[in-house]
């Protein structure tokens, strides 16, 4: 177990280290991450530190949520810089285990998401991904035993899957979903934005503009309207950007279940989401995802 200088942050490398640390704490807030931290992660951590007696973050590039041919090997690994982000955000401890410590010989139990997610938007686009997410998050929740666990809205289906995991396996914790952090031009913050070259980065806000076009179409509805009109508005915006190489999906779905909608309920002025728009595109060689809950007017 190592302690960094200046503001104290405890680095926990093994489950044994974590168990010893956890035995000394009461109410804990957990922010699971894969590292390569950005301002959106820092927002989650500050909220965890404010709402709990103490906050812990995990940094673990989880191999089981990467499909063959995805970016496991080149995923950014910036641990020393990440520790500074944790320190500045008020996090007290960082759990940074090895693959062996998390998975042993690799022949262990996997946690599967509800099968319905496999056929929906992000689940269909990344087969096996959410099994890896559920497995690692279940391990982290069991090990840390947090009162609250914090996630960003940008990964909309992940949030829905994890709400289901918490409910179905009776984890005694709250899943806290925080608003997507964005750059000034609307691009959702993501560790994978580091893959964008200058031209791609300049074009990337088209994803948020596409969501905005779909939201504008929804706001123009006088009553329940066809989801196809919202999809068409987003697709037209994406089609106008030459660097968008492929649109993987444009989803208009129920906010809680992520099931695709044929008819979208109209704006009601309320704070609760009526539906959620989600998009995944290939911009050059970089995969970008984003979403926008439909709420208010």
- Structural domain boundaries of the chain? 10-178, 191-294
Give yes or no for residue 1 having a pLDDT over 50.
no
d(Cα 34, Cα 98) in Å, to the nearest integer? Answer: 12
Residue 41 annotated to the active site = yes
d(Cα 96, Cα 49) in Å, to the nearest integer? Answer: 18
Binned at pLDDT 50, 70 and 90, residue 2 comes out as: very low
**H helix count then E strand count, the chain:** 10, 12
Owner of token pair 């673990």: 60
Instruction: Report, as an integer, the average pLDDT of 132-141.
Output: 98
pLDDT in the model for residue 3: 46
Nearest to 235 by CA among 199, 218, 210, 260: 210
Q: What is the DSSP letter of 112?
A: P
Fold match between domain 10-178 and domain 191-294: no
HSE of 223 in the Cβ direction (CA atoms, 13 Å)?
0
Sequential DSSP letters for 214-268? HHHHHHT-SSSEEHHHHHHHHHHHHHT-TTEEEEEEEEEE-TTT--B-SEEPPP-
Structure tokens at 40: 């959106």
CATH of domain 191-294: 3.30.1300.10
User: Any idea of the CA torsion for 234, 240, 242, 246, to the nearest 10 degrees?
Assistant: 30
Instruction: Render pLDDT for 195-227 as a digit per residue (tens, 0 to 9).
Output: 999 999 999 999 999 999 999 999 999 899 999
Please say whether the beta carbons of 35 and 59 come within 8 A. Answer: yes
Structure tokens at 109: 């139990």
Burial category of 98 from C-beta neighbours within 10 Å (exposed 0-12, middle 13-18, buried 19 and up): exposed
- Among residues 9, 41, 155, 171, which one is catalytic? 41
d(Cα 101, Cα 109) in Å, to the nearest integer? Answer: 14
d(Cα 55, Cα 295) in Å, to the nearest integer? Answer: 30
pTM of the model: 0.94
Q: Answer yes or no: CATH 3.40.50.970 is held by domain 10-178.
A: no
d(Cα 231, Cα 279) in Å, to the nearest integer? Answer: 10
Mutual angle of helices 227-239 and 206-219, in 10-degree steps: 150
Please say whether the beta carbons of 56 and 105 come within 8 A. Answer: no
Mutual angle of helices 129-144 and 156-168, in 10-degree steps: 50
Structure tokens at 156: 């909309």
pLDDT in the model for residue 6: 54
Instruction: Render pLDDT for 269-291 as a digit per residue (tens, 0 to 9).
Output: 788 888 999 999 999 999 999 99
Q: How many CB atoms lie within 10 A of CB 237?
A: 21
Binned at pLDDT 50, 70 and 90, residue 5 comes out as: very low
Q: Which residues contact 222 (CB under 8 A, 6 or more apart)?
A: 266
Give yes or no for residue 167 having a pLDDT over 50.
yes
Instruction: Report, as an integer, the average pLDDT of 31-46.
Output: 98
End-to-end CA distance of the chain: 51
């Amino acid at each position: 177990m190592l302690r960094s200088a200046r503001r104290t942050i405890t680095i926990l490398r093994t489950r044994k280290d974590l168990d010893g640390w956890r035995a000394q704490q009461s109410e804990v807030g957990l922010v699971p991450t894969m590292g390569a931290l950005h301002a959106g992660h820092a927002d989650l951590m500050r909220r965890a530190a404010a709402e709990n007696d103490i906050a812990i973050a995990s940094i673990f590039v989880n191999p089981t949520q990467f499909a063959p041919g995805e970016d496991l090997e080149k995923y950014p690994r910036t641990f020393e810089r990440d520790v500074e982000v944790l320190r500045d955000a008020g996090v007290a401890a960082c759990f940074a285990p090895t693959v062996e410590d998390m998975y042993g010989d690799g022949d262990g139990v996997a946690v599967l998401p509800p099968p319905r997610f496999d056929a929906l938007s992000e689940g269909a686009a990344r087969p096996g991904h959410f099994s890896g997410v559920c497995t690692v998050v279940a391990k982290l929740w069991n090990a840390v035993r947090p009162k609250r666990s914090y996630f960003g809205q940008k990964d909309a289906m992940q949030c829905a899957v994890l709400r289901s995991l918490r409910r179905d396996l009776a984890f005694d914790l709250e899943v806290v979903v925080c608003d997507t952090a964005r750059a000034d031009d609307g691009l959702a913050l993501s560790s994978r934005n580091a893959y964008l070259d200058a031209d791609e980065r300049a074009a990337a806000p088209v994803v948020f503009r596409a969501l905005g076009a779909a939201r504008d179409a929804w706001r123009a509805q006088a009553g329940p309207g066809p989801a196809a009109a919202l999809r068409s508005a987003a697709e037209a915006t994406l089609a106008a950007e030459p660097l968008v190489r492929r649109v993987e999906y444009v989803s208009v779905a129920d906010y809680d279940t992520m099931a695709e909608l044929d008819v979208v309920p109209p704006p009601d002025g309320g704070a609760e989401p009526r539906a959620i728009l989600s998009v995944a595109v290939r911009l050059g060689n970089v995969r970008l995802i984003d979403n926008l809950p439909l709420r208010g007017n």
